[in-house]
Structure 1
């Protein structure tokens, strides 16, 4: 997925272009809004790596640890954008 995303950071819009799985992850974060995303709700291999890469690019993402039950109870991360975002899909193809 190829996307262009404009982040509204303290009144200073900043535009990025992402492709492949980073584009997918960014689009998922923007679509989820304040609810955020987890690997439990939106399974994806290496989601935390995509979040890390997006942060290195300057995308402000918050992490909240949440408990979960079941045979392998513990905690998982919920990721949320810390600003408003506007995403434009440029194409469905791209590097993975």
Structure 2
């Protein structure tokens, strides 16, 4: 993923089966999260490998815009055993500059 300090609005296109493509502007931390998800591909992202203060909120916002994002619950060990979410972008998305995820 390209490093940027400008997280202003960027245009993304969602391609749905049997429907017209949908163009969505995304900015700020929501854009950062979407670009992390695109870069991660089928592997997805967790707040562990891509630290961010409010991953669940970014995913909630992106889902509200029409992006299909799956949450896979995974166990983790360590002093604070438990589970965490792995977020996987299931929508086929293309950024205006051509970066694509399936």
Asked if the contact 1:30/1:81 (under 8 Å) is kept, the reply is yes
Moved >3 Å (runs of 4+):
none
Match of 2:13 in 1: 6
What residue ranges of structure 1 are gaps of 5+ in the alignment?
A: 90-96
TM-score by length of 1: 0.85
- Alpha-carbon deviation of 1:4? 1.4
Match of 2:46 in 1: 38
Match of 2:56 in 1: 48
Relative contact order, higher structure (CA 8 A, sep 6+): 1
Asked if the contact 1:25/1:51 (under 8 Å) is kept, the reply is yes
SS of the residue aligned with 1:4? Answer: strand
What residue ranges of structure 2 are gaps of 5+ in the alignment?
A: 1-6, 98-102
Match of 2:66 in 1: 58
Write 1 or 2 for the structure with the bigger share of strand. 1
- Alpha-carbon deviation of 1:29? 1.0
Q: 1:67 and 2:84 equivalent?
A: no
How many correspondences in the alignment? 89
- Alpha-carbon deviation of 1:42? 0.1
SS of the residue aligned with 2:96? Answer: strand
RMSD across aligned positions (CA): 1.3
- Alpha-carbon deviation of 1:41? 0.4
**Distance between the aligned counterparts of 1:70 and 1:81, measured in 2?**
27
TM-score by length of 2: 0.80
